[in-house]
Amino acid sequence: MRNLMVKIKYDGRNFCGWQVQNDLRTVQSVFQTALRDILKENVPIIGCSRTDSGVHANEFCVSFHTASMIPCDRLPLALNAKLPADIAAFGCQEVPDEFHARYSCKGKQYRYLILNAPLRDPFWHARALWYKYPLDAAFMNGQAEGYLGTHDFSAFCSANSDVRDKVRRVTQCAVRRLPEDRNMIEFTVTADGFLYNMVRIMVGTLLQMSAGRLTRDSIPSIIASKDRGQAGFTADACGLYLNKVLY
């Protein structure tokens, strides 16, 4: 048996997240069907994360054991011939037998896109959050530094989460206007792990600080409070991308 890791990317607009759900179109169910058609065996697949409905991925890693001897350089080509247009495989490698796409992961980077323009753009519909009021990316970048470090991020976790350990280490966090499109603001954050809706709440908090609804420089005190009610709203899923998986 070989243990393979396949890298995929997908547009999450028409998926109800990663995980298989009865009678719903999910990334896992669609990928699993394509893989079964190619390998001629029903292999359990492991995803690196559980992205929500409407969330996108620039890099998502899937691992599985298979008896198939299909070469790694051929598998993405074969998968892309079976997968729908909103998913694509772009890499495959053989990994050690003990490798696990989720539990071997040492960290992830997420990207959140905000279309900051007075008028909406249909080409970014469900691919970025449209925010029509002016934003100061430099101000947001300075405020985002408050997220850096190892903290209990209970205040930035959805209230219905059942995760007990909410301590995470954020190693990178930045906000900028993209040089190729000055209407687009990009928020990136890298950590050893993320809580449910953590990135979307981080973004919502920065937007409410920009609007003056939360006090500037208050992120450390919000973190210290461990109170979800102290942080900002949960930004829409449409702007969120799993950008990189670290092993």
Distance CA 143, CA 206 (A): 7
Out of 11, 37, 52, 192, which one is annotated catalytic? Answer: 52
CA angle 194, 51, 113 (to 5 degrees): 80
CA dihedral (136, 140, 141, 147) in degrees, to 10, reads: 180
Annotation says 97 is catalytic:
no
Distance CA 112, CA 187 (A): 5
Distances (CA, A) of 113 to 125, 150, 178, 193, 239: 12, 25, 10, 20, 5
What tokens appear for 62 in the block?
Answer: 């899937």
Active-site residues, by number, are: 52
